[in-house]
Amino acid sequence: MFDTIEEKKFLLKQLVKKNLTSKYKDSSLGILWSFFNPLLTMIVFTVIFSMLFGRNIENYPVYFLSGRLLYDFFSSGSKGAMNSIKRNSGILKKIYVPKYMFAISAVCYEFVNFLISFVILFGVMIVTGAPFHWTLILSIIPMGLLFILVFGLGLILAICNTYFSDIGYLYNIFTLVLMYASALFYPMEIVPARIQMIFTLNPVYTAIYSFRECVYGVLPDPFSILYLGVFAFMVLIIGIILFDIYEKKLSLEL
């Protein structure tokens, strides 16, 4: 089963649909939470931090939301892929299913949520009077590279989490630290110059920075895009190799 491309596409579609319906089945508002969560978070952070950084950042709500949406996709997508194998252990013990399909379906599901939340960004831009620049079209580049990074990292985490359950707790701490190291709600200018170089090595910050440039009408820095692309594909290759080595052994660990 699931040996052909068409069969795998069908399986991926069904897994993503299953994730969408199961998450919101007990909620009265359902998928509307994909709109409300980023919107309410933006309002809270804008009220708190706009007084501190609002003068240094043009259109603070757009600045914060454009960073938060990408970070949430990275965090939720990688965590979803990390837990995908263990979460579906019951299925994997009964029938043969390509195990990586659960990881990629978790990433695709979070990407769908990200695209839904993207509507909120456009709405905030309209309400705040932010101009829509043609460079918005180029935002697909950092978004696509971030997707590749999340999928590759998700494969690595899925393997590690199957063998070492503590990885999940450690990764939660890591993503919390990463959030503050990605300049979501403050301008990079407040960071000492000697530390800014460390920030630029953070691929999530690079994706957010490049995406914000597109939103604000600036051509993304080609060196930042190149670095993000090289990093994302390296992580993907490592993830594929690692998953290929351990995939057949995973059933013994479930």
Q: What residue type is 238 in one-letter code?
A: I
The answer to whether position 13 is within a domain reads: no
Cβ–Cβ < 8 Å for 217, 130: no
Residues 6 or more apart whose Cβ sits within 8 Å of residue 153: 78, 81, 235, 239
Task: Check pLDDT > 50 for residue 4.
Answer: yes
* Contact (CB, 8 A) for 225 and 138: no
Q: Is residue 161 part of a domain?
A: yes
Confidence of residue 26 (pLDDT cuts 50, 70, 90): low
Confidence class for position 251, pLDDT limits 50, 70, 90: low
Please give the mean pLDDT across all residues of the chain.
Answer: 84
Yes or no: say if 149 and 70 are a contact pair by the CB < 8 Å rule: no
Q: Is residue 1 part of a domain?
A: no
CA distances from 160 to 153, 163, 236 (A): 11, 5, 15
Q: At what angle do helices 140-163 and 60-87 cross, to 10 degrees?
A: 30
Report pLDDT digits (tens) over 227-246: 999 999 999 999 999 988 88
Instruction: Please tell me what DSSP assigns to residue 12.
Output: H
Tens digits of residue pLDDT in 138-151 = 999 999 999 999 99
Q: Strand ranges (DSSP E) for the chain?
A: none
Our count of domains for the chain comes to 1
The one-letter amino acid code at 154 reads G
Higher pLDDT, 178 or 196: 178
Is residue 16 included in any domain, yes or no? Answer: no
**pTM score:** 0.88
**Within a domain: residue 6?**
no
213 within domain boundaries: yes
Per-residue model confidence (pLDDT) at position 2:
46
Give me the domain span that covers residue 232: 29-253
Amino acid at 63: Y
**Residue 174 in domain:** yes
In eight-state DSSP terms, residue 4 is S
More confidently predicted of 163 and 7 = 163
Residue 15 lies in a domain: no
Tokens coding 222? 């080609």
